[in-house]
Amino acid sequence: MIVVRAKRLYPDAKIPTRAHPDDACFDLYAYHPESKIRIHPGERIMINTGVALAIPPGYEGVVRPRSGWSFDTHLRIANSPGTIDSGYRGEVMVIMENISSNEKDVYVIEHGQRIAQIGFRRVPPIELAEVDELEETSRGDGGFGSTGY
């Protein structure tokens, strides 16, 4: 078992939790006790979680959207998936964006509300080596849409 240590940066911050023991990810919670956060159409904001993590070397934290929010709202995690490197010890932040163009689609984030999820993934040691040529493959340099739609 891999242990990721979590530190509350404020006494009332919520440590990430799983809804079910077999869930792949842990819920992240908004930390904003002073007031509600309003996200207007076209706006992008950083939401505090009030938590810092000690991710072991060889792993990364991967911040992902909550599937229900992505389906039911216009809220998105702007850099999804967001990476938290194992050496980072600052507060986990979530960049939330309202992609709606309808001025009525203002979303309110409450203190303690689940805003995203974080999973942990093994990252093998990788080294890049500069070369003059790359080996050929059947795909070659075929990029976006090259295999059809």
- Per-residue confidence in pLDDT tens, the chain, 149 aa: 999 999 999 999 999 999 999 999 999 999 999 889 999 999 999 999 999 999 999 999 999 999 888 888 999 999 989 999 999 999 999 999 999 999 999 999 999 999 999 999 999 999 999 999 999 988 888 777 766 66
Q: What are 44's strand-pairing partners?
A: 97
> What are the phi and psi torsion angles at 31 (to 5°)?
-120, 105
DSSP, res 71: H
Domains of the chain plus CATH, in order, are 5-122 (2.70.40.10)
Query: Residue 115's closest CA among 12, 40, 26, 52?
Result: 26
Tell me how far CA of residue 55 lies from CA of 21, 34, 40, 43, 140, in angstroms: 20, 29, 33, 30, 37
